[in-house]
Chains A and B, each alone.
Chain A
Amino acid sequence: MALLIGALLLGFFAARLPWLPARLRKGVPVLGSLSLFVLLFALGLSLGSSPELISALPTLGFRAVLLSAGTVLGSVFLVWLTVKLGRRRG
Chain B
Amino acid sequence: MTWKILTSLAAGVLCGLVLQVQNGELLSLVSDLALAALLFTVGFSLGEDRDLWKKVKGLPRISLAVPFLVALGSILGAVFAGLLCSIEPGEAALVGAGFGWYSLSAVLIAQSYDLTLGTSALLTNIFREILAILLIPTVAKRLGKAAAVAPGGATAMDVTLPIVAANTDAQTAILAFYSGTVLSILVPIVIPFLVQLLQNSAG
- A: which residues have CB within 8 A of B? 1, 3-16, 25, 28-29, 31-54, 56-57, 60-80, 82-83, 86
Contacts and interface: CB of A to CB of B under 8 A. Distances in A.
A42 B44 contact: no
Given A9-B43, A61-B123, A83-B147, A41 B11 contact: yes
Nearest to A10: B40
B75 to A, nearest CB: 8
Contact of B70 (A5, A32, A79): A79
Nearest to A41: B12
Given A15-B47, A33-B4, A79-B147, 20 more contacts: A7-B37, A7-B39, A7-B43, A8-B40, A11-B45, A12-B46, A12-B47, A14-B43, A34-B37, A37-B5, A39-B159, A45-B27, A49-B17, A53-B119, A70-B77, A70-B78, A70-B80, A74-B73, A83-B62, A86-B60
Contact of B12 (A9, A43, A54, A64): A43
A75 B69 contact: yes
Interface of B: 1, 4-5, 8-22, 24, 27, 30-32, 34-48, 60, 62, 65-66, 69-82, 84-85, 87, 92, 95-96, 99-100, 116, 119-120, 122-128, 131-132, 135, 139, 143-144, 146-147, 149-151, 153, 157-159, 162, 184
Contacts of B77: 69-75, 77
14 contacts: A3-B36, A36-B34, A42-B31, A44-B12, A44-B16, A48-B16, A60-B119, A66-B85, A70-B81, A71-B74, A71-B96, A72-B131, A79-B66, A83-B144
